[in-house]
Chain A
Amino acid sequence: MSQPTEVRWAVEVENFGKSFPVGWTGRRQPVIQGVSLRLAAGQVLGVLGPNGSGKSTLLKALAGLLRPSTGHCRILGQSVDSPAVRAQIGFLPESARFAPHQTGREFLHYCASLSSLTADQFKPRIDALLAWAGLGAAADHRMATWSKGMQQRIGLAQAMVHDPAVVLLDEPASGLDPDGRLAVAKLIRELADAGRTVVFSSHLLAQAEEICDRLAILGRGRLLAEGSPAELLGSIRRPKAEPTRLEKLYLEKIHE
Chain B
Amino acid sequence: MNERGHNPLMASLHRVWLIAGQTMAEALHLRLTLLLATSGAMLVLMARWLRDFNFGSTELKFLVDFGLGMIGLMGTLLAVLATVHLFFNDVAGATIACVLTRPVRREEFIGGKLAGVMTLLAWFVLTLALVLAGLLAIREAQLGVAGVSMPDLGQACALIWLKLTLVAAMTLLVCSYAASQLFASCAGLLLAVVAHLRPFTATTGGLAWMRLWPNLALFDAETLLAVGGLSATGLLERIGYWAVFILLLGGLASHVFRHREF
* A residues at B contact (CB < 8 Å): 60, 63-67, 83-84, 86-87, 89-91, 93-102, 110-111, 113-118, 121, 155, 158-159, 162, 168
Contact = CB atoms under 8 A, between A and B. Distances in A.
A91 B101 contact: yes
A115 B18 contact: no
Interface string B1-32: 11011000001001100110010011001000
A78 to B, nearest CB: 13
A114 B125 CA distance: 30
A87 B93 contact: no
Contacts of B4: 116
B149 interface: no
Given A65-B261, A102-B25, A110-B18, A83 B97 contact: no
A248 to B, nearest CB: 34
B42 to A, nearest CB: 25
A99 B97 contact: no
Contact of B97 (A96, A102, A162): A96
A97 B18 contact: no
Nearest to A106: B25
A101 B29 contact: yes
Among A99, A114, A116, the most chain B Cβ lie within 10 Å of the Cβ of: A114
Interface residues of B, number: 29
B11 A116 contact: yes
A144 B100 CA distance: 22
A87 B95 contact: no
10 contacts: A65-B262, A83-B105, A89-B101, A91-B101, A99-B95, A100-B29, A113-B18, A118-B2, A121-B2, A158-B98
A63 B89 CA distance: 20
Given A96-B94, A98-B93, A63 B101 contact: yes
B103 interface: yes
Contact of A67 (B99, B101, B104, B261): B261
A111 B98 contact: yes
B93 A97 contact: yes
B23 to A, nearest CB: 10
Among the interface residues B25, B93, B103, which one has the most CB atoms of the partner chain A within 10 A? B103
B2 A114 contact: no
A116 B262 contact: no
Contacts of A67: 261
Given A60-B262, A101-B29, A114-B15, A95 B94 contact: yes
Interface centre among B4, B97, B98, B101 (most CB of A within 10 A): B101
Contacts of B98: 91, 93, 96, 98, 111, 155, 158-159
A86 B102 contact: yes
A83 B2 contact: no
A171 to B, nearest CB: 12
Given A99-B93, A116-B11, A116-B103, 15 more contacts: A60-B97, A65-B261, A67-B261, A90-B101, A91-B98, A93-B97, A95-B94, A99-B26, A111-B98, A114-B15, A114-B18, A116-B14, A118-B2, A155-B98, A162-B102
Given A65-B97, A65-B261, A91-B98, A99 B22 contact: yes
Contacts of B19: 114
A233 B11 CA distance: 49
Contacts of A121: 2
Contacts of A116: 1-2, 4-5, 11, 14, 103
Contacts of B92: 97
Nearest to A83: B103
B104 A114 contact: yes
Q: 8 tightest CB-CB pairs across the interface, nearest first? A: A83-B103, A101-B29, A93-B94, A96-B94, A93-B97, A91-B101, A118-B2, A97-B93
Nearest to B12: A83
